Amino acid sequence: MTVIAPPAPRFPEDWPRFGMGSASLGNIFATYSESDAARTFAAAWDAGVRYFDTAPWYGHGLAEHRLGAALRGWPRDQALISTKVGRVYDPAPRGQDARVQWQGGLNFAVRYDYSAEGFAASLTQSSFRLGQPSVEALIIHDLDRDYHGPAFDGHMSALTGTGLAYLHRLKADGQIAAVGMGMNTLSDFTEIAPWIEVDFFLVAMPYTLADQAALHGPMADCARRGIKVIIGAPFASGLLANPSAPGVMYAYAPASAEMVTKARAIESVCARHGVPLAAAALQFPLLHPAVVSVIPGAVSAAQARQNAENVARPIPPDLWSDLKMQGLIDPGAPTS
């Protein structure tokens, strides 16, 4: 597919430090209306957000449709958009419900394809859903060994055979500014970070205020190799936004008592310094030299505005020192 694209921004120089993820507006845990989505995107834009991340997987196309509706009302040259490749959609057979995971996604059936052909098909579909001929970054979507199981080796062979080269050709031709790869698990991040040639990783879960297990392994590999990191899910599925909420989630599942206790302890230290837990959760990853952006989700206009306020809120350096002294964050975590 030939894409007529505006000049690509420079990565990471032109990348905003703060953006917005759209998984929740694909109805990941609950159903939100079209008006909910429209108001949320509008509030984020009005609060200064210019980087938006999405994916075909989020609601089986729903999040891309919703972001596309918002994009058509904004100056396109002011917005940076990333979406993901590796999952292609076909209409569900008549009378069958092909939706999985999503509370209210669209009824399309997913198939996984990490080859150049699959990536091209995925990009074409995303362009139509977004209503845009181009995006600024493409991200290899969550090639996780545990999730894909026996199919993992075949998918990785497709990626290293033709898929990754296709993405780098798009970048060389100026059609995108950057090539990324999504990471959800520490084990996959640890395995892949030392060798794959990408511009950045989109990391959801392995490096947050609640858990820095990736610090001395893959995050160090990224810093050493000059690979940047964008932090998705900085609230760790909700735990770092409100650890006392009923049924609070962590890492896409109900939070354990141990993690709730830890998050409440972090929240208590934050309170002594007059800092909301959510503000600390958003700003902590940005202190790592490899991290270029943090992209929390939002499901309401109020949340979008609150995220923008929290990422700009002043945080005293003593907060990080106190968290280290109490063993609540890794003593080696960058905090200055």
What integer pLDDT is reported at residue 1 of this predicted model?
A: 46
Q: Which residues contact 333 (CB under 8 A, 6 or more apart)?
A: 212, 215, 284, 287, 288, 320, 324
CA 28 to chain centroid, in Å, comes to 13
Is 36 tagged catalytic? no
Specify whether the CB–CB gap between 279 and 310 falls below 8 A.
yes
Q: What is the pLDDT of residues 271-294, one digit of tens each?
A: 999 999 999 999 999 999 999 999
pLDDT tens string 214-273: 999 999 999 999 999 999 999 999 999 999 999 999 998 999 999 999 999 999 999 999
**DSSP states of 32-83:** --HHHHHHHHHHHHHTT--EEE--TTTTTTHHHHHHHHHHTTS-GGG-EEEE
The token duo for 291 is 């991290």
Catalytic status, residue 53: yes
> What domains can you pick out in the chain, each with its CATH number?
20-325 (3.20.20.100)
Mean pLDDT of 114-134: 98
3-state class (DSSP) for residue 155: helix
Average pLDDT value for the chain: 95
Asked if 147 is an active-site residue, the reply is no
Q: Is the pLDDT of residue 33 over 90?
A: yes
pTM score of the predicted model: 0.96
Q: At what angle do helices 62-71 and 34-46 cross, to 10 degrees?
A: 50
User: Which of the four pLDDT bands, split at 50, 70 and 90, describes residue 29?
Assistant: confident
Which of 84, 207, 228, 262 does the annotation list as catalytic?
84
CA 172, distance to chain mean position in Å, is 24
pLDDT at 309: 98
More confident residue, 8 or 273: 273
Question: Is residue 167 within 8 Å of residue 138, measured between CB atoms?
Answer: yes
Range 66-86 average pLDDT? 97
What is the Cα gyration radius of the chain? 19
Q: Does the pLDDT value for residue 16 go beyond 70? A: yes
Cis previous bond, 56, omega within 30: no
Q: Which of 32, 51, 53, 228 is catalytic?
A: 53
Q: What is the pLDDT of residue 6?
A: 53
Angle at 221 between CA 218 and CA 225, to 5 degrees: 145
pLDDT category, 126, cuts 50, 70, 90? Answer: very high
Which of 32, 51, 58, 166 is catalytic? The answer is: 58
